[in-house]
Amino acid sequence: MAGVYGLIRTGIYTFRRVFIAEPLFKGYCTSYGRNLRTGVFVHFVQGTGVLELGDDVTVDGKSSFLFASRFSERPTLKIGDRTGIGHACMFTVGKRIDIGEDCRIAGNVWMFDSPGHPSDPAARLTGAPPDPDQVRPITIGRNVWIGGHSIIFPGVTIGEGSVVAAGSVVTADVAAGVVVAGNPARRIAALGPQAAVTPRPASQSIPDTSGLQTGGPIGG
């Protein structure tokens, strides 16, 4: 009986992914490459912006993509080849967020390039938007691993090959090839020289985001 149930569930999930979730998400994309893959849930996209995805990108689970066109005519989120996005991530884009190739973004990561509200109390009372100079693009370098429940603040650049430990609050730039952790995130270790990333064959190129959500010593 359990085997029959498993087959039925797999069939339903496959149908939902292939015929509902993936086509709807592709419809939101300005452009996407080969082998774009989602989970069985429909991602939430709000506002008008540019959503560009490279080849072999996985956007798993159910994530949110929020575009605020008040700060830019074309707020842009770009995700590079072979990058995997875990469940329940949120991207708030006022101007631009760039995520490089071969990145691993674990579940419940939040990136926002706009604070949403002004820091000045009087301005907040009037419902004013944040100052334009507070809206600053985010850049995530190639082969970066961001652990679950981390928060990436406006204006942050994370260098190639670095690791952000789970639960970190990144308010300042992160150098290439280091590990950061904490609130606010601070460097806790240096990594070895970065090896060149050899693109995987297409049959092996879909990132496995399940481990990003639950496993690994970094916690994401």
Instruction: Return the number of other C-beta atoms located less than 10 Å from residue 179's C-beta.
Output: 19
CATH of 2-213, one of 3.40.50.300, 1.10.10.60, 1.10.287.1080, 2.160.10.10: 2.160.10.10
- pLDDT the model gives residue 194: 52
Q: Is the pLDDT of residue 196 over 70?
A: no
> Which residue in 43, 87, 117, 149 is the catalytic one?
117
- pLDDT the model gives residue 205: 38
Dist. CA 174–CA 138, nearest whole Å? 12
Q: Report the chain's mean pLDDT, rounded to a whole number.
A: 87
- pLDDT the model gives residue 120: 81
Dist. CA 182–CA 120, nearest whole Å? 27
- pLDDT bucket at 110, cuts 50 / 70 / 90: very high
177 CB-near residues (< 8 Å, 6+ apart)? 159, 160, 161, 162, 190, 191, 192, 193, 194
Does residue 117 carry a catalytic annotation?
yes
3-class state of residue 58 by DSSP: strand
Instruction: Using CA atoms of 179, 134, 139, 93 in order, give the dihedral in degrees to the nearest 10.
Output: 120
- pLDDT the model gives residue 218: 45
Is the torsion defined by CA of 1, 210, 60, 206 positive or negative?
negative
Of 116, 72, 69, 71, which is closest to residue 90 (Cα–Cα)? 116
- pLDDT tens string 125-136: 888 888 878 899
Q: Is the pLDDT of residue 213 over 70?
A: no
- Highest mean pLDDT (candidates 104-118, 145-159, 189-203): 145-159
| Mean pLDDT within 168-172 | 98
Q: pTM of the prediction?
A: 0.83
Gap between the terminal Cα atoms of the chain: 34
Is the torsion defined by CA of 135, 26, 87, 57 positive or negative?
negative
- pLDDT tens string 56-72: 999 999 999 999 877 88
Q: Is the pLDDT of residue 111 over 70?
A: yes
- pLDDT the model gives residue 220: 54
DSSP character for 123?
A: H
Which stretches of the chain are DSSP H helices? 2-16, 22-28, 121-125, 210-214
